[in-house]
Amino acid sequence: MKVKTLNKILNKIFKKHKLSHKDSLICSNAIINAELVGAHSHGLSRLKMYCERINRKVINPKPKIKIKKISNSITSIDANNSIGFVAADIGIKQAIINAKKTGIGLVGIKNSGHYGLSGYYAEQAVKKNLIAFCFTNAPPAIAPHGAKKSLFGTNPICFGTPTASKVPFILDTSVSVINRGKIRVAARTGQKIPHGVALDKSGKITTDAKKALKGVQLPIAGFRGSGLAWMVDILSGVITGGNHGGKVKDPFDDFSGPQNIGHLFLVLKPNLFVGNYNKRIKENIKRVKRLPKINGVKEILYPGQSKFRRFKKNHKKEIKVSSNITKDLKLLS
């Protein structure tokens, strides 16, 4: 399906679900971006979920978002249970404004929902020649180290920086071995998940996606990954006023109330300490890329390069829409 055609369909769907024209565009663009960079687990596969949460009145399609200025650098946002795309769009734009004024922009958001890809927001700051950190928490999926019950989300860590080229450096990674969205897609399509990424509810390693969703996902690097998940829970949940400590509701299965997810955006001018940042980052990347390569590796890539290439390549093509998603689009339109 052509990008423009899909965008029109998504806009129509979100408007049908009582979002404004502006907010519908924000949501549609974020979902399509996820498809274009190859992050299908954060794209069209979640559309039905967003719409169902609106229908069940646990996402507010007409939020009265409150923006509170704490200082010229710091802003607090109460998203009023809006869809996460809208809250995050306001948040990253405010962080960019603050950083342009003072050199540092810090924005904390509460009462939000799932906002898609963290890298999508970091890239907005990088395009303005700024450095960005993005944090958001998620429903329980990972057990704290030493525990056998999940509590932390897959809580992504995201960092972005200009590179003195058209291709930004964007590190966007969950602290689980694979993100939960991929497991959900596998469960929906009947595919197996890789060995060693999740345990079933009895604590045994499983490749069955449905059993994994009822069990525990494994963090990267053992206790270190568990610690990083905890860190993100503090930064995005405890600090902002959002839910934390296992209180974020699962968007697919728990309709008992809003998620109250927290987001934290930290945006910086890259020349806060040195005036020649572009020259220094360019040299930094060159040094890594010049290193001798192992057999089979043609090029050492920095985070974000592969996604950028996929985006450029896919933007020229039509977006592949599975039969399941086609049914969702028809049902929701």
> Residue 159 phi/psi, 5° resolution?
-140, 135
Three-state SS for 198?
strand
> Residue 94 phi/psi, 5° resolution?
-70, -40
The C-alpha atoms of residue 150 and residue 248 are separated, in whole angstroms, by: 12
- Kindly state the tokens that stand for 254: 């728990």
Q: Do 76 and 42 touch, CB atoms closer than 8 A?
A: no
Crossing angle of the two packed helices 84-102 and 118-126, in degrees rounded to 10: 30
Q: Which one, of 170, 188, 42, lies nearest residue 115 by Cα?
A: 42
> Residue 256 phi/psi, 5° resolution?
-75, -10
Selected from 3.30.70.2470, 3.30.1130.10, 3.40.190.10, 3.30.1370.60, the CATH number assigned to the domain covering 63-176+219-268 reads 3.30.1370.60
Q: Which residues pair with 263 in a beta bridge?
A: 109, 136
Question: Which string of b and e fits 60-81 if b means at least 16 CB within 10 Å?
Answer: bbebebeeeeeeebbbbbbbbb
The C-alpha atoms of residue 332 and residue 48 are separated, in whole angstroms, by: 7
Q: In angstroms, what CA-CA distances link 53 with 103, 181, 226, 291?
A: 38, 17, 29, 49
The C-alpha atoms of residue 119 and residue 127 are separated, in whole angstroms, by: 12
Q: What's the maximum distance between 2 C-alpha atoms anywhere in the chain?
A: 56
pLDDT confidence of residue 43: 96
pLDDT confidence of residue 188: 86
Dihedral angle over CA of 209, 193, 170, 261, nearest 10: 10
Q: Which one, of 61, 57, 47, 50, lies nearest residue 18 by Cα?
A: 61
Does the reported pTM lie above 0.75?
yes
Alpha-carbon torsion (250, 252, 255, 257), positive or negative: positive
- Kindly state the tokens that stand for 121: 């927001």
pLDDT confidence of residue 77: 98
Q: Do 134 and 84 touch, CB atoms closer than 8 A?
A: no
Q: Which one, of 54, 76, 52, lies nearest residue 66 by Cα?
A: 76
Q: What is the pLDDT along the chain (333 residues), one digit of tens a residue?
A: 999 999 999 999 999 999 999 999 999 999 999 999 999 999 999 999 999 999 999 999 999 999 999 999 999 999 999 999 999 999 999 999 999 999 999 999 999 999 999 999 999 999 999 999 999 999 999 989 988 789 999 999 999 999 999 999 999 999 999 988 889 889 988 999 999 999 999 889 999 999 999 999 999 999 999 999 999 999 999 999 999 999 999 999 999 999 999 999 999 999 999 999 999 999 999 999 999 999 999 999 999 999 999 999 998 899 999 999 999 999 999
**Alpha helix ranges (H) inside the chain:** 3-16, 21-36, 47-55, 84-102, 118-126, 180-189, 209-214, 223-233, 277-289, 305-315, 323-332
pLDDT confidence of residue 24: 98
pLDDT confidence of residue 203: 87
Q: Transcribe 115-132 into DSSP letters.
A: -S-HHHHHHHHHTTT-EE
